[in-house]
Amino acid sequence: MSELIQAVIDSNEKADLRTFASDLRHQEKRYLLKNDILTAFAEYCHNHQKPENFFSSSNLGKLIYYTQEIIREDSNLCLIIRPKIASEEIYRLTEDLTVEQMPIQELLDVRDRFVNHFHPNEGDILELDFQPFYDYTPTIRDPKNIGKGVQYLNRYLSSKLFQDPKQWLEALFSFLRIHRYNGTQLMINERIQSPQQLSDQIKKAITFVSDRPSEEPFDRLRFVLQLMGFEPGWGNTAGRIHETLELLDQLSDSPDHQSLEAFLSRIPMVFRIVLVSPHGWFGQEGVLGRPDTGGQVVYVLDQARNLEKQLQEDLALAGLDVLNAEPKVIILSRLIANSDGTKCNQRLEKVHGTQNAWILRVPFREFNPKLTQNWITRFEIWPYLETYAIDSERELLAEFQGKPDLIVGNYSDGNLVAFLLSRRLKVTQCNIAHALEKSKYLFSNLYWQESDHNYHFSLHFTADLIAMNAANFIVSSTYQEIVGTPESVGQYESYKSFTMPDLYHVVHGIELFSPKFNVVPPGVNESVYFPYTRYEERIESDRDRIEKLLFTQEDPEHIFGTLDDPSKRPLFSMARLDRIKNLTGLAECFGMNAQLQERCNLILVAGKLRAEETTDHEERDQIEKLYQIIDQYNLHGKIRWLGVRLPKSDSGEIYRVIADRQGVFVQPALFEAFGLTILEAMITGLPTLATQFGGPLEIIQDKFNGFYINPTHLEETAERILEFVSKCDMNPNYWYEISTRAIDRVYSTYTWKIHTTKLLSLARIYGFWNFTSKEDREDLVRYLESLFYLLYKPRAKELMEEHLSR
Ligand code: UDP
Ligand code: LCN
């Protein structure tokens, strides 16, 4: 980057740089983000009559493209440049155009000064640096491969291990001896005493099974195999056992990483899984759409169901039916005594459609019954998590009759509990963020002191740093969740360095190139969400009822608005009413465009209709704002707003009924981490226009199977919707084309089958490597524990005291 800056300075663009920098110095704004920088530069080009291609063809234009932030301090400009994904360089540009590179520590000081929280006379601030712990672990080199951690790790460690055949065979042998199910030995027994004997016995067993009919069940071979030293786990039939033995034989003689991966994927080592999701209303009915209860609950429930199914299949294939092996999945959530008509006050609830998947609800301790017996927003939950983890450990051990094999945390609070549980139980920890709030709330770290009363980001971000560094592996829904796009910073990337003024500076918060990151997107429940064209699977009475509900039914208690012409093409959206979901933005964009109102009705399924019925401040603000927009643009007769909580089965049919009328789904969020509603809409065949900020950018392929919108530009968004609607009016085939491709996109890429196969494979491979390489992470985990006890815990205690005084 320094060459690019130098090239600007050494050329006739120097004058442009000087003038542009001077313009910035005269702006009122002293902290410019990417959008502000682009706007300022566009203005500069306009005012100085620069040629149209100046931005794309000049070096200065390139420099501006890569600049993420500019902070003005006195007459100096501090440029934060992101030359490529996951990297950052900082430069100070003085008034006389000298340029010097700045270390991250200095940038953090600049930011502190910007908010008047720089006090060097009072001593240095705590600096958090995780880099040294990653120095001796493998790291990916090419940013393109970030998120493909397991392939990389497998290749890297295999090549190291395979260099020493003796050590390799020893490792394999030791690993095969450790597997048990309910006390019964799996894989190999004590008749095989050494790696050499293992090699010999494999060959004998291969000869034995290759002579048997390939479909012959394991049961009939069990006795002979046992005498040779082999226990259940190799396969359910002679054919399958033969394949697994051949894989191991190959691994012993001429190992390669693909056979290792294939072999490990067959070993039955995961039987019991915990999915931790403490906050929110976690239930199967009547909870969706409430503040804090959205996609995560849908995701975790679907994941639990599908994990059970996949484990059942895997265990059956491994031949464990002979032991009646039954997998068990527990979703660990919070018991809420005052459950507002939900089942959240029940300790144990079976997950619908499963044999052995449960929601286990453990209450928070009664520190403060006024609070702990009720729903607590995810922003206030922090003081109760440590004791919750301790109580949960006891309950999990009882429910499982032993330890789980894998602990998966969900969201910041669940990941912290997963860390505490994994630490205590010595079990593999997997993290799923769903959404990291740091990048969602602008300047949330810089101004944490101003917003801590409502949001408690000091606890939140500390918990995030602890959990993401502690995790053995991290599952993300998209690539950009980790490292963003060439234009925007990723969610995990935003933890790389940041300041929490007066609390700490993070100089290296997470290693983005670590192979712990794996992209594994979720799917949709295909029995609820399926294409509108599958008429034979749809229930006619449901369709009629939902048609009425959406377009004509009068129910002022739950529905606002009567449509003047219910036959117009419906524009549909469904989301929780929080600010970032931006349904108010969609209403405003609809209000701004008369042509759109002529052609379409706007149908919203969202939250509640009355501000006084909610205790969530964001929901209250959004309800008031939505009414104000409806009045301001006089949308009466053109909008329906349903404040209803629908059963899941209805929500599938809603999308289909909208598709029956050749409607459109619009997702206008200011930022969407992933966006399950987008998958739901697309699989039902509803053409979807969704925000370009976040996950939808990866789900949708623009103009092919859906469309991007920029919800910060409302008029332009309205134009894009209108353009699509007009094209469909002119050529009805166009709607069908997009609809069909949307359906194909979800079935080919976003299914739970793909997700669970990959997740279980990750669990096995990371489990193997943790065992084999005996990677010593104790120093890192000790550092994280110190942060937990010395930083997190005292602040959490303060928050609890504040709760008690309310
Ligand atoms: N949902 C619902 N009713 C509502 C709002 C949302 O059933 O009033 C469901 C929706 O169908 C989807 C989930 O909640 O399954 C929202 O997930 P998404 O990932 O889109 O957003 P999140 O709420 O997690 O941010
Ligand atoms: C949280 C979000 O904000 C959504 O974007 C995701 O789809 C959901 O969790 C499930 O991961």
Give CA–CA dist 90/93, Å, rounded. Answer: 10
How confident is the prediction for the chain on average, in pLDDT?
96
Determine the structural domain holding residue 224 and report its residue range.
Answer: 151-177+188-230+234-264
pLDDT class of 774 with cuts at 50, 70, 90: low
Q: What is the pLDDT of residue 245?
A: 98
Looking at the fold, whether 161 and 28 belong to one and the same domain comes out as: no
| Among 282, 441, 477, residue to substitute to test ligand 2 (most atoms within 8 Å of Cβ) | 477
Q: Is the pLDDT of residue 775 over 80?
A: no
Shared-domain flag, residues 575 and 723: yes
| pLDDT computed for residue 156 by the predictor | 87
What is the average per-residue pLDDT within 438-452? 94
DSSP state of 351: P
Same domain, 86 and 215: no
Q: Are residues 87 and 222 in the same domain?
A: no
Helix locations, 661-731, DSSP H = 676-683, 696-699, 714-730
Considering 734, 750, 766, which residue would you say is the last residue of a domain? 750
Confidence check: pLDDT of 603 > 70: yes
Do 96 and 155 reside in the same domain of the chain? no
Residue 253 scores a pLDDT above 90: no
- 770 occurs within a structural domain: no
Question: How far is residue 781's CA from residue 803's CA, in Å, rounded to a whole number?
Answer: 30
CATH of the domain at 566: 3.40.50.2000
Tell whether 692 and 558 lie within a shared domain: yes
Residue 484 domain-assigned (yes or no): no
Please give the number of the atom of ligand 2 that sits closest to the Cα of 677: 7
Q: What is the pLDDT of residue 646?
A: 87
Nearest atom in ligand 2 to 676's CA: 7
Q: Is residue 663 part of a domain?
A: yes
User: What residue type is assigned to position 451 of the chain?
Assistant: S
Ligand 1 centroid, distance to 516 Cα (angstroms): 28
Return the residue whose CA atom lies nearest to atom 7 of ligand 1: 288
Q: Is residue 252 part of a domain?
A: yes
Residue 158's pLDDT is what? 84
Q: How far is the CA of 711 from the centre of ligand 1 (A)?
A: 19
Q: pLDDT at residue 165 above 80?
A: yes
Ligand 2, atom 8: nearest CA belongs to which residue? 295
Q: Count Cα neighbours of 49 within 13 Å in the Cβ-side half-sphere.
A: 0
Which pLDDT value is given to residue 457?
Answer: 98
Q: Whose CA is nearest to atom 10 of ligand 1?
A: 677
Cβ proximity of 695 and 477 under 8 Å: yes
Sign, CA torsion 372/377/380/384: positive
CA distances from 745 to 423, 448, 750, 758 (A): 40, 40, 8, 19
Give residues with Cβ within 8 angstroms of 664, minimum separation 6: 569, 570, 571, 572, 600, 658, 686, 687, 688, 689, 721, 724, 725
Residues 645 and 705 in one domain: yes
Give the percent of the chain with pLDDT over 90: 90
| 478 domain-assigned | no
Task: Note the pLDDT tens digit of each residue in 777-801.
Answer: 889 999 999 999 999 999 999 999 9
User: What 3-state DSSP class applies to 46?
Assistant: helix
Distance 435 CA to ligand 2 centre (A): 6
Query: Which of 484, 489, 439 shows the shortest CA–CA distance to 80?
Result: 489
Q: What is the CATH number of the domain that holds 83?
A: 3.10.450.330
Rounded distance from Cα 93 to ligand 1 centre (Å):
46
161 and 98 belong to one structural domain? no
User: Ligand 1 mean position to 288 CA, how many Å?
Assistant: 7
Pocket test residue of 301, 378, 674 for ligand 2, highest count of atoms within 8 A of CB: 674
475 located within any domain: no
> How far, in Å, from the CA of 372 to the mean position of ligand 1?
25
Which ligand has the minimum distance to the alpha carbon of residue 654?
A: 1
Domains: count for the chain: 3
Q: HSE-up of 663 (CA within 13 Å, CB side)?
A: 28
CATH of the domain at 240: 1.20.120.1230
Instruction: Give the model confidence (pLDDT) of 336-386 as tens digits.
Output: 999 999 999 999 999 999 999 999 999 999 888 889 999 999 999 999 999
Over the stretch 643-671, which tens digit does the pLDDT of each residue have?
A: 998 888 899 999 999 999 999 999 999 99
d(CA 701, CA 596): 24
Does residue 488 fall inside a structural domain? no
Q: What is the pLDDT of residue 806?
A: 85
Distances from the Cα of 363 to the Cαs of 333, 337, 527, in angstroms? 8, 8, 32
Overall size of the chain counted in residues: 806
Index of the ligand 2 atom closest to the CA of residue 432: 11
Instruction: Spell out which residues line ligand 2, taking CB within 6 angstroms.
Output: 295-296, 299, 434-435, 477, 672-676, 695
With beta carbons less than 8 A apart as the criterion, state whether 752 and 303 touch: yes
CB distance 677 to ligand 1 below 6 Å: yes
Do 96 and 160 share a structural domain?
A: no
Residue 295: pLDDT band (50, 70, 90) is very high
Of residues 136 and 774, the one with the higher pLDDT is 136
In tens, the pLDDT along 482-491 reads 999 999 999 9
Closest CA to 608 of 577, 652, 571: 577
Is the pLDDT at 771 greater than 90, yes or no? no
Can you give the pLDDT at residue 183? 92
| Cβ atoms 101, 89 nearer than 8 A | yes
Q: Give the chain's radius of gyration (CA, Å).
A: 29
Per-residue model confidence (pLDDT) at position 714: 97
Residues 75 and 171 in one domain: no
* DSSP letters spanning 510-523: --TT-TTEEE----
Same domain, 172 and 238: yes
Q: Which amino acid is at 109?
A: D
C-alpha 496: how far from chain center: 17
Ligand 1 atom at minimal distance to the Cα of residue 667:
20
The Cα–Cα gap between 569 and 603 comes to: 10
Task: Give the residue-averaged pLDDT of 485-502.
Answer: 96
pLDDT in tens, 296-350: 999 999 999 999 999 999 999 999 999 999 999 999 999 999 999 999 999 999 9
- 46-90: pLDDT as tens digits: 999 999 999 999 999 999 999 999 999 999 999 999 999 999 999
pLDDT reading at 255 higher than 70: yes
Distance CA(676)–CA(472), nearest Å, equals: 26
As beta bridge partners, residue 665 has: 572, 688
Structural domain contains residue 192 = yes
Q: What is the pLDDT of residue 708?
A: 98
Residues 543 and 637 in one domain: yes
> How many whole angstroms separate alpha carbon 706 and alpha carbon 396?
43
Q: Is 139 within 8 Å of 133 (Cβ atoms)?
A: no
User: What pTM was estimated for this model as a whole?
Assistant: 0.97
Pick the residue whose CA is nearest to atom 4 on ligand 1.
Answer: 289
